[in-house]
Amino acid sequence: MTGEVMTKQKALSVACEMAQKFGFVSRRIVWKHLTFEGRASKFKYWLFLKKASELAPYKSGVVFNHHLVLSSEYRKSLGEGTAVSNRSSIYFEHDEYLMDILLSIRSAGVIAEYWTEQELKMDRVLAMQTMGGVPDAKIPDLIFDLTTGRGAIRVAIEIERTRKSQRRYRLVQWGYSRLRRIDLLLFGVVDSGTEAVIRQEFDTATFSSDKRSIGYFTLNEFAKSGLASELRIRGKRPQLQDFLKRVCGDAWKEPSASRRQIGDKLEISVSSENEKTLEAN
């Protein structure tokens, strides 16, 4: 998506992709990654997606106005087994972090392919091939191939919004020790205490080696700063984007400023009254 103008049709395509692979897409992700700058554009794009036949409001007893899923008609058109089940609302915040990370890195043109936990759970053979091991103990929250000048690096992401028990992290470490195709493991952690508990299991474990690394970043910082967040890896503290740039080399393409400029130029101003109408929808 580097330097690409995010038209409404392109936004619809990416929104459907997120819903197909994660089970939903949220207004927060749409506004952050799939619209132009400017409040009016954000509301107009969201309203366009809400009215698209490919998408429908998330419903679970009540309607979640800020979350969309694939419509039943569009899901059928994709074919059986090609879209994950609608995600439970208790996982919305967790999976929004994954979408945010994925789309932020993909904007630099360095993600060749990716797989969500829900996809891998649907297909055991695909899971074994992707991870290089039996997926009984652990399936990562997200896996993607990072493009570099020396071939692809397979990255696993784990989002830790709550601190789990030491025993749980011991099982996670054991699970990852069996996944031979994971080259880099990144933990997004809620606080330093959670990071310390995870480190206690991983720092002396068999996953780490000269060819395999583990890094940590803080979720609250990522929510505010994105790829400018600090990454703690191998005793160093680079920004996440600087680390990825070094790993990817010439494959990394800085997101073009033209998207914002073109968006500002194309955006049609609306009155505050019209803006209220858009927000209500």
Domains of the chain: 1-90+256-281 (1.10.10), 108-254 (no CATH)
What pLDDT is attached to residue 260?
A: 40
Dihedral of the alpha carbons of 66, 70, 72, 75, in degrees to the nearest 10: -170
CA–centroid distance for 159 within its chain: 10
Q: What is the pTM of this model?
A: 0.88
Where does the pLDDT of residue 272 fall: very low under 50, low under 70, confident under 90, or very high at 90 and above? very low
- Residue range 57-105, pLDDT digits in tens: 999 877 788 999 999 999 999 999 899 999 999 999 999 999 999 999 9
What pLDDT is attached to residue 4?
A: 62
- The DSSP letter of residue 236 is B
- The DSSP letter of residue 141 is S
What pLDDT is attached to residue 203?
A: 81
Alpha carbons 1 and 160: distance in angstroms, whole number: 28
CB 29 within 8 A of CB 18: yes
What pLDDT is attached to residue 269?
A: 32
- Residue range 193-247, pLDDT digits in tens: 999 999 998 886 656 565 689 999 999 999 999 999 999 999 999 999 999 999 9
Residues β-bridged to residue 64: 58
Alpha carbons 145 and 143: distance in angstroms, whole number: 7
Residues β-bridged to residue 116: 142
pLDDT at 138 over 90: no
HSE-CB at 112 with a 13 A cutoff on CA atoms is: 12
Q: Starting at the edge strand that comes first in sequence, how are the strands of the sheet with 55-60 ordered? A: 25-26, 62-70, 55-60
Residue type at position 137? A
Q: What is the mean pLDDT of residues 147-174?
A: 93
